[in-house]
Structure 1
Amino acid sequence: MEWFTAPDAWLGRLVFQRGLAAVYLIAFLNAALQFRPLAGERGLTPAPDLLRRVPFRRAPSLFHLRYSDRLLGLAAWSGVAVSALLLVGAADRAPLWLFVALWIVPWALYLSIVSIGQGWYGFGWESLLLEAGVLAALLGNERVAPPLPVMILIAWLLFRVEFGAGLIKWRGDRCWRELTCLDHHHETQPLPGPLSRRFHLLPRPLHRMEVLANHVTQLFVPFLLFLPQPVSGTAAAIVVLTQLWLVLSGNFAWLNWVTIVLALALLDWSRLVTPPSDQPDPPLWFLVMVSAMTGWILVLSRHPVRNLLSRRQRMNVSHDPLRLVNSYGAFGSVSRVRQEIEIEGTDDPRPGPDTVWHAYGFRGKPGDVRRRPPQVAPYHLRLDWMMWFAALSPAYGRPWLPLLVERLLEGDRPTLRLLRHNPFPDRPPRWIRARVYRYRFTTRAEHRDTGAHWHREALRDRIPPTTL
């Protein structure tokens, strides 16, 4: 059955599955710690309301049977436990059917969470993790040689991630075609990292080279993934290097890391390590399952192909409720100016021009100008990301931002745990406002003089002083 297997990919399979299990663990931990105040029973956008409106076929989730915050926590911590087992390799020596079942468990649990997570879970890396999780189950364990069709599907997924992102940029903001987007992007991206300011201050010719390298990597290199080794392995190595560059330049949750483990699966590991000689052929039932799933995924792939060919290409859209095949892309447009919403409170009984306001501190997004942007990825700070969107347009924050202010006025503990700093630890403030500021990175001279990483100026109130 040599036509069906790829024995040289055994180490790539191992690296891919272990890496993906680590990302699953982080994703479930993220849900356990953040879902309740964002989308729980008393969350900013309650999941029970969605479950009453949307049928199972549109939002497949185990929580259609019953939702409670306790059950959500049980599902999330169960996902953490199963992901940890997969990470340490406990499933690799299990019977093949049990191995497949163990990989389906985190996929089903996380799909159940994503399907009811609404805007908080509306990011492309959620679908990417789910789609990659199905491929991990189809790869099998050490009891069978890696199936060649699944390795091709991994290349097809990585192709869509990279080529989709490249096309959306080329078709989108003209600064990508003019090679000028990175004059702004390092500063205006959702969550800058510790090195983002240094990237932003690089000479502009280097920014042009960054953009040009991005176009080459995303528009040309992906086609090489389907060629024989060592060409495909070289292309995958280029993807790994460019993704590590993105890891250094900002915080994009686990998008870069899932992309990296996909690329690692396609490296030519046989040049470094000799493959085992005793890799058994897959049993008939596994061959049938892999063949059927491969055919189904290829049929569903007509949707992302149409999307890639369309002049109205869409970013990060799922083409089936189970998220087996999706379209990807990022930053089709780039902001030129960074705006941030600061939430501030006061105990003043009647706020006026002389009122002293104290800001709530978020874990990842800019606030205190002297605080260096932290490294948070691959962990995902969902509220911080959505605050960035809310600063772009009032429409993004309209469903939940006023309720966030109300929760802070109440001193709601689950909501406060999403924040880094609460300036009112003893009792909630009497008044809260949401104010928009313009932020920019300080120059080298400004940083030497003040020690600040940011310069900011107040623009306007998003929500005027509000009290219970």
Structure 2
Amino acid sequence: MDWFTASDYWLSRLVFQRALAGVYLVAFLTAALQFRALLGSRGMLPIPRYVERMPFKAAPSLFHLHYSDRFFAACAWTGCAVSAALLAGLDSRLPLGAGMLLWLLPWLLYLSIVNVGQTWYAFGWESLLLEVGFLAVFLGNDDVAPPVVVLFLLRWILFRVECGAGLIKMRGDACWRKLTCLDHHHETQPMPGPLSWFFHHLPRPLHRVEVAANHITQLVVPVLLFTPQPVATAAAVLMVVTQLWLVLSGNFSWLNWITIVLALSAVEFPYDAPPTPDAPLWYEIVVLAVAALLVYLSYHPVTNMVSRRQIMNRSFDPLHLVNTYGAFGSVSRIRYEVVVEGTADDVPRADSDWREYEFKGKPGDPRRWPRQFAPYHLRLDWLMWFAALSPGYAGSWFGTFVERLLESDRDTLKLLRRSPFPPDAPPRYVRARLFRYRYTSWRELRETGACWERTYVREYLPPTRLAGVAQRS
């Protein structure tokens, strides 16, 4: 079938596949380095306890069959190795079927992680990586030109990512319609980056232009993805530019980067593709069958997008094959942060020697400037932002987190930038307090050197010690 492939997109596929492999590598590396404290046997939300109550059918995962910390580590590091091999182009050196199986392996491994990841993996970019990663299995390698239907479905994902985000904004917070959300967003976003302070202090008229441009990029430009070239390429490039602007303004894990990866698949690069043989019949049948399945499963995301009660970042099937997306349907006007402190004093008092734990990414010391971590995902830091919005977001894990600090648990301390206590001398008490944070002005920055100013609001968690530890007097 001559229409089945599009040789003009040979380089587009190559760029897409290598970039996607890079995102996979970051995702598996994040899992390998953080899982013990978050999901391990002694983690804050242990996987063994979760799989006992969650049926395999509802959340398919290798860890239903067997779990140990060593086995999880093996899966995560295997994912890193396979991702690195794909990044190096190993799939292009294999026969078509073997290359597809190689792309299937990281998808299966990451699906197994996400489906037992609970709160730590309840982010839209987890499902997005799985949906894109599943399609990548059927994109082929050097043995065949890129299938048109898969290229179309990649654009369909990009359309839903952008349009879903645009619609949730217009239906959600009124500040998006008034073009005023960026008066607050750079200050209150989950994890500011090193340039977020400067973005916040841009002139307000420019913020209005930013919001208007965002609406155009998310609600108008995605339609152009399905127009002839070079219009589709121009639309994709505009999306890439917009995503790079977001990369500069904050730390959003790999959400922006995988959106860029999707956009690159729609770019028609000026390149003479090498000759490729016709696609084998079995490959055409498999691709068309998968495409038909994904179109059928798209019913729920489409009805959700057109619904007045649109929800964002939801998967409609346990394999995360077709999902709905969206971000920042509402924008916080005030930034709150939970500050965690410990003391070695035998009796906790207001004037005790309380020492603050420092996190890697979330704001803490007002003088410490935010760093760039994305596309790497600091899962604990992100959940601490939600915990500051409401204790209900932290009810399942925060108590265990405090317990691990009181035990000076090595794996938990690795998630932090710095513990104020030596590993062999943990605190006797830990407390948490809620502060309001705001960016300093240009004048305050010059005078104090601090990018944040914080004000005490209330107690978040009273001084707490390990059960069974006697208080000395």
TM over 0.5: yes
CA contact (8 A) 2:8 2:271 kept: no
CA shift at 1:46, angstroms? 1.1
CA shift at 1:288, angstroms? 0.6
CA shift at 1:367, angstroms? 0.4
CA contact (8 A) 2:341 2:355 kept: yes
Deviations, residues 434-454 of structure 1 (Å, cap 9, x unaligned)? 111110111000000010010
Distance 1:47 1:460 in 2: 33
Of 105-114 and 131-140, the range deviating more from structure 2: 131-140
Correspondences of 1:146-185 after superposition (within 5 Å): 146-185=146-185
Q: Tell me the equivalent position of 1:38.
A: 38
Tell me which amino acid in the other structure corresponds to 2:463.
P
Cα RMSD between the aligned structures?
A: 0.7
Q: Tell me the equivalent position of 2:191.
A: 191
Distance 2:186 2:108 in 1: 36
Distance 2:55 2:8 in 1: 44
CA shift at 1:353, angstroms? 2.8
Distance 1:462 1:380 in 2: 25
Correspondences of 1:352-371 after superposition (within 5 Å): 352-371=349-368
Deviations, residues 403-457 of structure 1 (Å, cap 9, x unaligned)? 1111100111010110010100241011110111110111000000010010001
Q: 1:377 aligns with which of 370, 374, 378?
A: 374
Distance 2:76 2:54 in 1: 22
CA shift at 1:352, angstroms? 1.7
CA contact (8 A) 1:240 1:260 kept: yes
Correspondences of 1:374-453 after superposition (within 5 Å): 374-425=371-422, 426-453=424-451
The SS at the match of 1:456 is: strand
Distance 2:421 2:357 in 1: 9
Q: Tell me the equivalent position of 1:320.
A: 317
Q: Tell me the equivalent position of 1:458.
A: 456
Question: Is 1:350 the counterpart of 2:347 in the alignment?
Answer: yes
Question: Is 1:131 the counterpart of 2:131 in the alignment?
Answer: yes
Q: How many residues align?
A: 465
Tell me which amino acid in the other structure corresponds to 2:123.
F
Tell me which amino acid in the other structure corresponds to 1:349.
D
CA shift at 1:311, angstroms? 0.6
The SS at the match of 1:138 is: coil
CA contact (8 A) 1:186 1:196 kept: yes
Deviations, residues 129-150 of structure 1 (Å, cap 9, x unaligned)? 0111111111100110000000
Deviations, residues 176-208 of structure 1 (Å, cap 9, x unaligned)? 000000000000000000000000000100100
Q: Tell me the equivalent position of 2:2.
A: 2
TM-score of the superposed pair, with normalisation by structure 2: 0.97
CA shift at 1:281, angstroms? 1.7
Distance 1:118 1:389 in 2: 15
CA shift at 1:356, angstroms? 2.4
Q: 1:294 aligns with which of 264, 282, 291?
A: 291
Distance 1:314 1:39 in 2: 27
Q: Tell me the equivalent position of 1:93.
A: 93
TM-score of the superposed pair, with normalisation by structure 1: 0.99
The SS at the match of 1:399 is: coil
Q: Tell me the equivalent position of 2:471.
A: none
Of 279-288 and 350-359, the range deviating more from structure 2: 350-359
Q: Tell me the equivalent position of 2:221.
A: 221
Tell me which amino acid in the other structure corresponds to 1:356.
D
Question: Is 1:340 the counterpart of 2:341 in the alignment?
Answer: no
The SS at the match of 1:92 is: helix
**Structure 1: which 5+ runs fail to align?**
none
CA contact (8 A) 1:93 1:143 kept: no
**Structure 2: which 5+ runs fail to align?**
467-473
Tell me which amino acid in the other structure corresponds to 1:352.
R
Q: Tell me the equivalent position of 1:258.
A: 258
CA shift at 1:250, angstroms? 0.2
CA contact (8 A) 2:432 2:462 kept: yes
Deviations, residues 377-417 of structure 1 (Å, cap 9, x unaligned)? 00000000000000001100111111111110011101011
The SS at the match of 2:438 is: strand
Tell me which amino acid in the other structure corresponds to 1:22.
G
Distance 1:237 1:450 in 2: 41
Distance 1:192 1:413 in 2: 27
CA contact (8 A) 2:313 2:326 kept: yes
Extract structure 1 runs of 4+ deviating beyond 3 A: none
Distance 1:345 1:5 in 2: 62
CA shift at 1:35, angstroms? 1.2
CA shift at 1:467, angstroms? 1.2
CA contact (8 A) 1:225 1:235 kept: yes
